[in-house]
Structure 1
Amino acid sequence: MLDRIGIAATSLCALHCILLPILLPALPLLGLSFLADHTWEHVFLIMTALLGTVALFSGFKRYHRRLYPFYILYLGVAVYWIKHDFAEEVQPFFIIVGAALMVTAHFINLKLCNSCKQCADEGCTA
């Protein structure tokens, strides 16, 4: 369940960042100009990373004991975080790569948790 929420949160964050330049002129009219602030992006990214950590840790602890989903999640967060250090033309690339890595971490965690053979070998119950 948490992995699915993490996937949704990451996808919404990426969608927000990609659509922001298109919607930016309309934000003040809608009273939503705070969404264009970099601080808001970082807060949402931190919340997404925390949710991802909880989701991955749950699967790690109960089922698979694999660390690489965490590495993929944090690499995605780092790629996403540094996007403002580069030209605006390449920022969508960082958004897409960072979000894809975070979503991939959740999918891998789901796959590892739902792996019946592995659970049978380790004595887990799914």
Structure 2
Amino acid sequence: MLDRLGITATSLCALHCILLPVILPALPLLGLSFLADHAWEHVFLLVTGILGSIAMFSGFKRYHRRLYPFYLLMIGLVVYWLKHDFSEQVQPLMIVIGATFIVAAHIINIRLCNACKTCTDEGCSAE
């Protein structure tokens, strides 16, 4: 369930970042100008990272014993976090790359967990 929540949160965050330049002028009229603040993005990204880490380590501990979904999550979070260090022309690409890594981490974690749910207590034999 946390993986699905992580996919949803990451997708909403990416959508927010991509659509923000289009809807930015309307935000103050709607009382939502806080959504244009970089601090809001970082808080949302931290929450996404915490939920993602819990999901990855839960899958690791309970089912598959593989860390690469967590590594993909961290790469995606770092790319997303550092997007403001690049020009405005490159930022949409950074958003897509970061979100792709994060969503891929969750999808791989789900698949690994589902493959191992039928495994014995000795560990997962699905490779």
TM-score past 0.5 threshold: yes
- Displacement of 1:122 in angstroms is 3.8
TM-score scaled by length of structure 1 = 0.93
| Distance in structure 1 (CA, Å) of the matches to 2:57 and 2:46 | 16
Partner-residue secondary structure (3-state), 1:72: helix
- Name the % identity: 73
| Distance in structure 1 (CA, Å) of the matches to 2:56 and 2:102 | 11
Q: Which amino acid aligns with 1:20?
A: L
Q: Which amino acid aligns with 2:111?
A: K
Q: Kindly tell me the number of residue pairs found equivalent between the two proteins.
A: 124
Could you tell me which residue of structure 2 aligns to residue 107 of structure 1? 107
Q: Which has the larger displacement, 71-80 or 110-119?
A: 110-119
| Distance in structure 2 (CA, Å) of the matches to 1:79 and 1:117 | 32
**5+ residue gaps, structure 1:** none
| Distance in structure 1 (CA, Å) of the matches to 2:45 and 2:33 | 18
TM-score scaled by length of structure 2 = 0.92
Q: Which amino acid aligns with 2:50?
A: L
Structure 1 stretches of 4+ with a deviation exceeding 3 A read 120-124
**5+ residue gaps, structure 2:** none
**CA RMSD of the aligned region, Å?**
1.6
Say whether 1:22 aligns with 2:27: no
Indicate if the aligned counterparts of 2:76 and 2:99 stay in contact, CA closer than 8 A.
Answer: yes
Partner-residue secondary structure (3-state), 1:114: helix
